[in-house]
Amino acid sequence: MDSAQLEDRIRWGLNVAARTIGTTTSAYRPRGPEDPLAPRNRFLRLHAAFSGHNGNFARPSGYGDALRCGVFDAAYTRPGDYLVQHDAIWFIAAQQRLLPVLCVQTNRTISLSRPAAQPSTGVNTYGGVTAANVAPLMTNWPGSVLAATKEAPSLANLPSDTPVSHWTVLLPACTDVVLRTGDLMSDDLGRNGIVATSELTELGWRLAVRQATT
């Protein structure tokens, strides 16, 4: 039996397991930088179950752990697809040959934009960030936003100031979109942040975001 046949049998076995222990799930494939969970992007219904990142169902996942192993037939899915079960949403981070499907459970809906550069050198009009001078990059994308242990003092340095929060953000890669340091992030809780570092990995985007306080 060659590797292709073995992989096909593994997927068949995962499909049998998912039909036994899984729940009906909708699969979505983003077609652009906006609204990946729009109804037009749903392409498949399947049964799926999700375990901890170690691949077993022995214990629930703990705080700050967004990685899951997906138990479903991955013959028709690919990295970057979203899987939706009721109110829970995951995206597929990796489908490596002969290995479990790695998924990321999302907890926020985020949008990213980029401030426009000044049109010329020297004297310009107001140079602050406003709604009129930012270009949207990715709009309404479910992602994982987890608090990082790093904190920084407020720039104002007043006695009542609280430390500035930092988040680790995981997102699927989006075709023709490259995220950079200085891009702006907002989420469905009304929080705003600035991308401090961006890393495009084989699993998607991993961002370090600093909360914007002004």
Render pLDDT for 192-206 as a digit per residue (tens, 0 to 9): 999 999 999 999 999
Sign of CA dihedral 20, 63, 205, 175: positive
**Between residues 58 and 80, the one the model is more confident about:** 80
Which of 57-61, 139-143, 144-148 is least confident? 57-61
| Closest by CA position to 22, among listed 71, 92, 95, 81 | 71
The contacts of residue 175 (CB under 8 Å, 6+ apart) are 32
Q: How far is CA 11 from CA 76, 93, 100, 179, in A?
A: 10, 17, 10, 34
The predicted-structure confidence for 4-29, as pLDDT tens digits, reads as follows: 788 888 888 888 989 999 999 999 99
Backbone angles phi, psi at 63, to 5 degrees: -60, 145
Residue 56: the pLDDT is 80
What does pTM read for this prediction?
0.86
Q: Which residue in 125, 98, 100, 128 sits closest to 115, CA to CA?
A: 128
Domains of the chain: 3-105 (no CATH), 108-211 (2.40.10)
**In a 10 Å sphere around its CB, with 0-12 CB exposed, 13-18 middle and 19+ buried, how is residue 97 labelled?**
exposed
Does residue 158 register a pLDDT over 90?
no
Q: In the chain, what is the greatest distance between 2 CA atoms, to the nearest angstrom?
A: 70
Would you state the pLDDT for residue 150?
60
